[in-house]
Amino acid sequence: MFEHNQWPAPAKLNLFLHITGRLANGYHSLQTNFQFLDYGDSLSFDINNSDNVTVSPAVEGVALEDNLIYRAAMMLKPYCRNNVGADIHLTKILPMGAGLGGGSSDAATTLVALNHLWNINLSAEKLAELGLSLGADVPIFVKGFAAFAQGVGEDLTPITPPQPWYLVIWPGVSVCTKEIFNLPQLPRNTPEITLAQLATATLKNDCQEVTKNRHPEVASALDWLIQYAPAKMTGTGSCVFGEFSSRADATVALEKLPKNMHGFVAKGVNISPLASTLSDRQRHQCQT
C-alpha cells in the first residue's frame, strides 16, 4: 500500500543577524529574527513497506548517505515500526548558498512529515533536537513560528513581526556559510540585545559587508534593490530582500530587475506553511 503526500519546505529570511561571540567549539553565538516566506521547495512522500528510504533526484556530487533529506529520514527509523519506508521526491526551487535555508528546510520537512506519516508522534521539541545535528537552522523550520533566535540559532522565542511583501533577489552566486563565518574580518562582538529592545534597536546583518566584499554580485543586488525599498541580505547571503507594503508594488520593482539577476515576490508569514500543512493533515486525520 502506498500513500502519496506533498509537503512544503518554505524559505526563511533573517530580518537581522548579529554575531555576538565565538564559542569554544568554533560555532558562533548570534541573535536574529526568523520569518518564513509563502514560497519554497516541496517534497512528496510515498510511504511503503520496503523498509528502504530513497531520495530523488540525486544531487550531483553528494552521496545518498550525505543528503540531508536522507539523513533526516534515517534519524527517525529507530523510533518507528519495522518495515516502513518512503520514496521521497524533492521539487527544488530555492537556490543553494542563498541564505534562504533551503537545505535545512528540506530536512525539517522530512522530519515533520515522516513523523506524521510513519505515526511516530515525537514532539516538536524532540524533532528540533534531532534536527539541530543536521544544521543550526533546522529547529526553526521544525517549530514553524517566527522567532527571535539566540544561541547558535536554536533558542527560539515566538514573535509576531509585520507580514509584508518581499522582493527577494538572487544575484546568481552561491555563498558558503562556513567560509563567511571563518573570515577573520567578520564582526563577532555585537552587543546582545533583549527581546524588549528589538523595537528600538538598530538592527543589521553582521555578515553583509564581508559577503559584499567577497561577492560583488551581492553588492550589486543590494545597490539595485535599495532604490525601491529598504533592503538587506539574509543569512550569510547571497539573497537580498526588500520590504514592500503590497504585492503590486513589489511586482512593479521585480519587472525592472536587471537580466543578470533573478527574483521572486513572496509574503512574509509568521506561521510556517509547513506548520499549517501539518495542522491540516492532523485535523483531517481526526475527522476520518
Within the chain, all domains assigned CATH 3.30.70.890 are found at: 165-269
**In terms of DSSP bridges, do strands 155-158 and 240-244 run parallel, antiparallel, or are they unpaired?**
unpaired
**4 pLDDT above the threshold of 70:** no
249 is catalytic: no
φ/ψ (deg, to 5) at 82: -70, 160
- How far is residue 218's CA from residue 232's CA, in Å, rounded to a whole number? 10
Within the chain, all domains assigned CATH 3.30.230.10 are found at: 3-160
CATH 3.40.50.300 correct for 3-160: no
Which of these is catalytic: 12, 143, 212, 232?
12
Question: What is the model's pTM?
Answer: 0.95
- How far is residue 83's CA from residue 57's CA, in Å, rounded to a whole number? 23
- How far is residue 77's CA from residue 115's CA, in Å, rounded to a whole number? 10
How high is the pLDDT of residue 3? 45
| Cell reading at 283 | 485535523
Query: Do 7 and 113 contact (CB within 8 A), yes or no?
Result: yes
- How far is residue 95's CA from residue 170's CA, in Å, rounded to a whole number? 8
- How far is residue 132's CA from residue 152's CA, in Å, rounded to a whole number? 10
DSSP letter for 259, please: T
Which of these is catalytic: 41, 106, 137, 206?
137
87 is catalytic: no
**1 pLDDT above the threshold of 50:** no
| Cell reading at 212 | 559584499
The listed CATH number (3.50.50.60, 3.30.300.210, 3.40.50.300, 3.30.70.890) that belongs to domain 165-269: 3.30.70.890
How high is the pLDDT of residue 288? 64
Please give the average per-residue pLDDT across 184-207, as a whole number: 95
- How far is residue 205's CA from residue 125's CA, in Å, rounded to a whole number? 28
**155 pLDDT above the threshold of 60:** yes
The rounded percent of the chain whose pLDDT value lies above 90 is 89
The 10s digit of each residue's pLDDT in 236-248 is: 999 999 999 999 9
